[in-house]
Amino acid sequence: MIRYKMYERELTKGGVYQHHTCVDKLDEHNIDLYDYEINITPKNETSPYDYIHISCLRKTVDEYVRKSVLDHFNITVDFPVIYFTRKVPFTPEFKCGFNLITYKKFKSKYIRQTLDTIKLFKGLYNDIILAGDFDSKGNFVDDSINIEIMPIQSRDNYFVIRKILHEHYGIDNFDTCDSLFDEYSIDKFHFHVKIKYGVKGMIIKFYNTYPINPFINYYDN
């Protein structure tokens, strides 16, 4: 069953648009994922692969993804995992989400940019989730870092974040995002922003769920 969708819009020059679907289970996997957010991303213009994403964003039971789930999907890392992403069919590499304490241990070349970016949004977020790529042996691939800013949900806060993105990153592609806030209420959707630094340059994306805010009893209580 489909629980909700999440729409993704690139605000930088690529202008890519895609969607993710949150479901209540993965029929092809014999494992209990009831306590997790399960999202599926179909192949699109940015990738010929389908993807699955398993996350602990609700934190109803586990603060991080439990080891039995990581083992089932062959996620070979030894740090607390907030979420992971795998291509379908599986390929050796994968992506994991983690906290800042974990990221500092990787000694990444993007750590200074990451810390400076987080400071820009001080007081505006409920959480910061970092994410990066890993090889089949669980080694961090230091080619990029995703900084996912999970804002305090309000119309006013959106426009403060919008101003930061415009003034610091030159983003002016906000028409579609702005329209979401014309008749805003917190139960309609959850929004967040991702800033990615990498060898291929910087990418900024805006995400919103539809037709509900699934985190209203988590981030937004």
Query: 70 pLDDT exceeds 60?
Result: yes
pLDDT at 59: 58
Shortest CA distance to 114 belongs to which of 94, 92, 98? 98
Shortest CA distance to 149 belongs to which of 129, 171, 174, 169? 129
Question: Residue range 109-125: average pLDDT?
Answer: 98
Question: Residue range 3-19: average pLDDT?
Answer: 87
Phi, psi of 23 (to 5 degrees): -120, 170
Look over the chain and give the mean of its residue pLDDT values, rounded to a whole number.
92
Q: Where are the domains of the chain?
A: 2-210
Question: Residue range 75-97: average pLDDT?
Answer: 96
